[in-house]
Amino acid sequence: MINARSLAALSSFLCVTAAAWAAPMDLDLGVRASIYDENYKLGLGGEVGAVVAAAPLWDMGLHLNYTRFNHKTDTWTDENEFGGYLAAYYRPALDQGFNLRIGPHIGYSKIHDNFLDLGGDVMAVFRATPGMSFYAAFIPSFMIGKDSQSLIRIGFGVEFGPGR
């Protein structure tokens, strides 16, 4: 069976391949708040990513993230999450002032152990100028591993690029 690290590397390769064939590409930078475990306070961190058009109504995104979790329980220690995931976004046609991206993601996360990160993404992208957008994201994840957990990320950020 493929392990999480190999899957993350494969996902990265697929996204880079899609980026080489597809245009336009948007780069994003954002902040994240994450709920992980009752023994930790709200985690704060950031993410960087790239989103490319894969088809007329589909985008592919590669996102790398970092989150710092401070402990609430005296016997626990602070944790850092490092991870990344590949997302496939469906962009429904909306007659609104924003674009919506909805889709699944698969990736890798390391908190106190290695996890396969499976979940969904919902992003509302608001175009500010032709080259810049703001976004809000909701990203629930199932962290599958030796001690499986769930993780909920809420994020805000800015995208740079030609957009669609």
What is the token pair recorded at 34? 């994450």
What is the CATH T-level fold of the domain 4-160, as seen in this structure?
Porin (2.40.160)
Q: What pLDDT score was predicted for residue 23?
A: 56
Give the 3-state secondary structure of residue 15.
Answer: helix
Q: What pLDDT score was predicted for residue 20?
A: 46
For the chain, the domains span 4-160
Q: What pLDDT score was predicted for residue 74?
A: 84
Report strand pairing: 132-144 vs 114-129. antiparallel
Query: What is the C-alpha to C-alpha distance for residues 83 and 12, in angstroms, rounded to an integer?
Result: 12
- Residue recorded with tokens 């908190």: 111
Q: pTM to 2 decimals?
A: 0.79
Q: What pLDDT score was predicted for residue 164?
A: 55
Q: What pLDDT score was predicted for residue 148?
A: 87
**Mean pLDDT per segment of 10 residues, for the chain of length 164 residues?**
54 52 77 86 92 90 93 86 95 87 95 92 91 94 90 94 67
Give the 3-state secondary structure of residue 12.
Answer: helix
Closest by Cα among 115, 102, 92, 98 to 37: 115
